[in-house]
Amino acid sequence: MESFIISRLEQDLPDTEKLETATFGMGCFWSPDAQFGASPGVIRTRTGYAGGTSDNPTYRQMGDHTETIQVEFDPGQIRFEEIVKEFWRSHYPNRDAYKGRQYISLMFWQSEEQKHILEKLKKEKEQQLNEPVETEIRPFDGFTEAEERHQKYYLKRYPKALEQLAELYPDTGLLTQSTFAARLNGFVKGFGSRQQLLEEISGWPIAKEHRDALRQLLLKLKW
């Protein structure tokens, strides 16, 4: 398999100009990275830090920032509202379940439309829980990408698989930007099945030989 497939894959899937972004915190960022990375229509995910005032946050010195995930998605395949509904379904949003600001429930909006959706669905969640929801909703004010070891965390726990993926990802930093890697990270965490991913890849708008190569790789992967 030739290593150019990864760059062609990223070029042929929707580019950044056609994508929308959702940024949110819902506890430790490893699981949301896997959960949302497994969703068809999501092109790439990144873990990071946001919402605070301290400069250059890191995992060891996060300051007043929160662990967050940033999701780039194709609105033609999955709507922002669907991502927000999954957010609400996936965790208890009130702070007594969290520790300090590192793990608070937090959502950012980057347009008035996103703000409207967030506020509407928050009210629906409050009606469902029959109690106020403490999730912070605020305008997006920056995102610092987390260290590489926190990107695609669950996939990186399978060194045998990484060895088999080395031709496609000679530098593990490439995993962060890859749609295929996002799906694999979700798969090993238990989101979706191999068959679902094989079927999804068959519909990706990339060259047939690249779809075939990714499918063959997925079938051969040993964990």
Active site members: 28
SS3 9: helix
**Which residue has tokens 């957010």?**
87
**Which residue has tokens 């080395």?**
166
What is the four-CA torsion angle of 166, 172, 174, 176, rounded to 10 degrees?
130
Distant-in-sequence, close-in-space partners of 205: CB < 8 Å, separation ≥ 6: 12, 13
Containing H/E element for 108? strand 105-109
Measured CA to CA, the distance from residue 76 to residue 14 in angstroms comes to: 10
Containing H/E element for 197? helix 194-202
**Which residue has tokens 């009130």?**
94
Buried b (16+ CB within 10 A) or exposed e, 51-77: bbeeeebeeeebeebbbbbbbbbeeee
Give phi and psi for 205, each to the nearest 5.
Answer: -80, 60
Closest of 114, 132, 144, 170 to residue 52, by C-alpha: 144
